[in-house]
Amino acid sequence: MHKIVTISVVAALALWLAVAPALAATPQAFVKNILDEVMAIQSNPAMEGPSHETVRAQAIRRVIQKNFDFPYMAQDSLGAAYDRLNPGQRQEFATVFSCLFQASYTNMVLRFLKREEIKYGNETVTGNKARVDTTLMRANDHIQVEYLLHQKGGNWVLYDVIVDGVSILDKYKTGFAREIQTGSFDSLLNKMKTQLKAVQ
């Protein structure tokens, strides 16, 4: 008996130690980790040039996959319309949204994040939410990028990125609301699926 408890505690401790860095990491550190990983992919000489774009895209996508809260984003982007969906629709929408977001964000990173210098600004934590301000700089130009995070399962995850004051999640909200108003949820989902097919 004593042996089982000891092993359990050790295992739990080991497990805790494995995830401890994530929880122990500050929001800014979390964001920095992600950006460092992405910059490493973008500047890796082995993955340089248009011929390796697909490899880079896949690597960047993996980083995005593990660091964004897609279910939350999917729900938030639909707003009140989400409540009117049945579980099957919700699941389907979340899956499509997740894939589409990953593809779009990967595209954005590939085009706009290359050899920029990243300056980290303020970090604001309010309850389980946080905001990390960064500045992307290149030559004499820069843009402000804010990352919005919240805690999920003890870890920080991203749920929105604001570029020069424009929120990506808000863009989704506005676009989806207009589409549902002029058409329907089904027409929205169909368009998302069509787009997904086109980018895959």
C-alpha to C-alpha distance for 112 and 141, rounded to whole angstroms: 13
| Binders in 57-86 for other proteins, by CB under 8 A | none
Of 89 and 104, the one with the shorter C-beta distance to other proteins is 104
C-alpha to C-alpha distance for 69 and 98, rounded to whole angstroms: 9
Max intra-chain CA distance, the chain: 66
> What's the closest the beta carbon of residue 128 comes to other proteins, in angstroms?
25
Q: Does residue 85 contact residue 189 with C-beta atoms inside 8 Å?
A: no
> What's the closest the beta carbon of residue 48 comes to other proteins, in angstroms?
14
If one asks whether residue 124 binds other proteins (CB under 8 A), the answer comes out as no
C-alpha to C-alpha distance for 21 and 174, rounded to whole angstroms: 36
* Closest by Cα among 104, 99, 97, 109 to 72: 97
If one asks whether residue 175 binds other proteins (CB under 8 A), the answer comes out as yes
If one asks whether residue 119 binds other proteins (CB under 8 A), the answer comes out as no
| Binders in 128-167 for other proteins, by CB under 8 A | 136, 138, 140-144, 163-166
End-to-end CA distance of the chain, in Å?
Answer: 53
> What's the closest the beta carbon of residue 4 comes to other proteins, in angstroms?
51
> What's the closest the beta carbon of residue 23 comes to other proteins, in angstroms?
30
Q: Does residue 19 contact residue 155 with C-beta atoms inside 8 Å?
A: yes
List residues near other proteins by CB under 8 A: 101, 104-105, 107-108, 111-112, 136, 138, 140-144, 163-166, 168, 171-172, 174-176, 178-179, 188, 191-192, 194-195, 198
